[in-house]
Amino acid sequence: MSAAMHPDYLETLLLYYEEEIEGEAYFAELAGAFDDQAHRDKLTLLARVERHAAEAVTPLIARHGLTPRDTAALVASGQAEARATAADWPALLAEMTESYPGYLRDFRALEAMGPPADRARLSFLSAHEVAALAFLAREATDPDQSAAPLRDYIATAPDTLVG
């Protein structure tokens, strides 16, 4: 293990990776619960953002020889969480606005725990939460354009970012 790696790094990286897989399933399932097509589309984009974030750190999972929990179990967990969530758009946005700044702090902390070779991809993982927060901020003022930060994130490849 590199001296530059925090002792909790690998466990935390694996947990956050698994949470993105669950998150993709959560948003995909939740999209089906909403009647408004614009809301469904935004939740589907959030699911794609979660997948893109997970794919960005997949090489790190492989490099460190980590074994995620079974994908089917992660998907089932995300879907169950979605089914326990009310299809109430303002309530969902309020909950996300409340919790996402803390998630971003957690992702930034993970960046600081990782070895230098991992930092570009960890930064890209953090950037998905920045994109989600930008979506939430725009949703309050300009909902027709709020999906732009999500589309921009999905359109960016991790290797083009400098960590």
- R_g of the chain computed on alpha carbons: 16
Q: Which residue in 23, 78, 149, 158 binds Fe ion (CB under 5 A)?
A: 23
Q: In the structure encoding, which two tokens stand for residue 65, read together? A: 């020889």
Cβ-based nearer residue to Fe ion, 20 or 29? 20
Is the separation of the CB atoms in 130 and 100 below 8 Å?
no
Binding residues among 26-85 for Fe ion as defined by CB under 5 A: 50
Q: Binding of Fe ion at residue 149 (CB under 5 A)?
A: no
Is the separation of the CB atoms in 53 and 124 below 8 Å?
yes
The mark string for 95-124 relative to Fe ion (x by CB under 5 A, - otherwise) is ------------------------------
Cβ-based nearer residue to Fe ion, 50 or 139? 50
Chain residues binding Fe ion by CB under 5 A are: 20, 23, 50
